[in-house]
Amino acid sequence: MPHRCPWYLGYFLLNPLRRLVQHPARLLDPYVRPGFRVLEPGPGMGYFTLELARLVGPTGKVHVVDIEPRMLTALGRRARSAGLETRIDMRLGRDSSLGVGDLLGEIDFVLAFAVVHELGDVAGFFKEAASAMKSGARLLLAEPAGHVSEASFAEECALAEAAGLVAADRPAVWRSHASVFTKP
């Protein structure tokens, strides 16, 4: 069983000082447009989710999947407080699946930030994400360099490519290995 981030560390991940080195708007703006449908597995308490909801605007939707109900509860409170709850579809995931079979071919962007290394079935994740993505959609994969080695990240990238995604870019993300994939 892979290591999972305990729910209570979600509060630490919301630290406002993090914005100095991983500012959500600067990181996400190149990839997300109004009206987009976004998939964010492992959103935690929504460090990136609220910015995604702002970027997709009132006609877009952010579909988040987490296996920890307490993370989703905290995210829901934060979304209501920000007036963004109608733009966010919160789903309780399972160990074996994201549970997004109803989104086949509908997703414009997937944000997989510091989550893939926590999954039990990485190949299955990329297959499920690729199935949900539209042609031309992008997936940003970012893993913390302190937890994930360059070799392990390369293995994740190979599994993304085996799922039919194409490596398109290697953006600089603070203290992270990162790659952007597109769906042909």
Q: What is the dihedral of CA 104, 88, 56, 161, to 10 degrees?
A: -40
44-82 pLDDT, tens per residue? 889 899 999 999 999 999 999 998 899 899 999 999 999
- Residue 5: band (very low, low, confident or very high) from pLDDT cuts 50, 70, 90: low
Write down the CATH number for the domain with range 18-182: 3.40.50.150
Domain boundaries, the chain: 18-182
Coil, strand or helix: which one is 121? coil
User: What is the C-alpha separation between 120 and 96, in angstroms, rounded?
Assistant: 8
User: What is the C-alpha separation between 109 and 140, in angstroms, rounded?
Assistant: 8
Coil, strand or helix: which one is 170? coil
What average pLDDT score do residues 20-26 get? Answer: 77
Coil, strand or helix: which one is 110? strand
80-131 pLDDT, tens per residue? 999 999 999 999 988 788 999 999 999 999 999 999 988 889 999 999 999 9
> Where in 34-165 does DSSP place strands (E)?
37-41, 61-66, 88-92, 107-113, 133-144
